[in-house]
Copies of this chain bind each other. A is one copy, B any other.
Amino acid sequence: MEVLAEFGTPEQQERWLRPLLDGTIRSAFCMTEPAVASSDATNISTSITRDGDMYVINGRKWWSSGAMDPRCEVLIVMGKSSPDADRHRQQSQILVPRDTPGVHVKRGVHVFGYTDGTHGGHAEIEFTDVRVPVSNVIAGEGEGFAIAQARLGPGRIHHCMRSLGAAERALELMCRRITSRVAWGAPLADQGVIQDWIADARVRIEAARLLVLKTAWLMDTVGNKGAHTEIQSIKILVPSTTEWILDKAIQAHGGGGVSQDFPLAMMWAHNRTLRLADGPDEVHKRSLARREIRKYQ
């Protein structure tokens, strides 16, 4: 929706954005590919080839969240339209109705055993000679990379905010559990090791939250570009912080922690994907470090 709102033509918005906002249809975003290291977006190899008034799409995508929802009617597909252009001008994004011939939703991809919702998981989709009108391209040929960048900033802070919420909830669940369980004659809450976890959890949540809040404030005041380093910082800091807290909360819950009786295991699995989604931590750390080093070169 955000992509269409910001980059769509009036026609595209009329046809797709309005029903999306009305909640009558769903969309999915098709970027990551199973066959290449997609953290380097220039690796993306789905082809978008001009043929008269049509584009022909061929390739394979996965982690297309929402595409398995029966209400999903449109896909935004990122692919290589200009293989010989400058590195960041090779990709385009294009609207593909899900019922277009050649679109084959093959299966759901799972996350640690979870299908992430009732529709069977994040879709793997094959595109075989899929033809859509030229007018379906978003913001023009070669704009794919720029749109992706514009979309990722807000996406990342949403991920981090939700992740922090999970951390806060895990801490509460842990506190509730340890005050209600007894071992060796005393509540688990009296165990020094568990107290140590709780202190670390609280301190780490507070520090991470302030960095998220500062990032949000920067996005509001100087824009996504001005907040680039901070967005990267929270993407690096928050999911791993939350992962550590969820792990301790699971441990404090014993067997219940890994089971379906508490939300911790599912929260953990979902949160674990955030160290990979929108680029693995290592890519963001490398990029942030290079900017830091550049000050002294």
User: Footprint of B on A, CB under 8 Å?
Assistant: 32, 34, 36-40, 43, 62-63, 109-115, 171-172, 175-176, 178-179, 181-184, 188-189, 191-200, 202-204, 206-208, 210-211, 214, 230, 233, 236-237, 250-251, 254-261, 265-266, 268-269, 272-273, 275-277, 280-282, 284-286, 288-290, 292-293, 295-297
Q: B179–A296 contact, CB under 8 A? A: yes
Q: A288–B192 contact, CB under 8 A? A: no
Q: A255–B276 contact, CB under 8 A? A: yes
* Bound-complex Cα distance A113 to B254 (A): 16
Q: A276–B257 contact, CB under 8 A? A: yes
Nearest CB of chain B from residue A291's CB, rounded to whole Å? 9
Complex interface: chain B residues within 8 A of A195 (CB): 192-193, 285-286, 289-290, 293
* Bound-complex Cα distance A136 to B256 (A): 30
* Bound-complex Cα distance A188 to B250 (A): 28
Q: From A178, which residue of chain B is reached at the shortest CB distance? A: B293
Complex interface: chain B residues within 8 A of A171 (CB): 292
Q: A172–B110 contact, CB under 8 A? A: no
Q: A254–B172 contact, CB under 8 A? A: no
* Bound-complex Cα distance A277 to B254 (A): 8
Complex interface: chain B residues within 8 A of A115 (CB): 113
Q: From A190, which residue of chain B is reached at the shortest CB distance? A: B192
* Bound-complex Cα distance A183 to B290 (A): 17
Nearest CB of chain B from residue A68's CB, rounded to whole Å? 14
Q: Which of B34, B281, B285 contacts A256 (CB 8 A)?
A: B34
Q: B109–A260 contact, CB under 8 A? A: yes
* Bound-complex Cα distance A38 to B258 (A): 15
* Bound-complex Cα distance A196 to B194 (A): 11
Q: A189–B258 contact, CB under 8 A? A: no
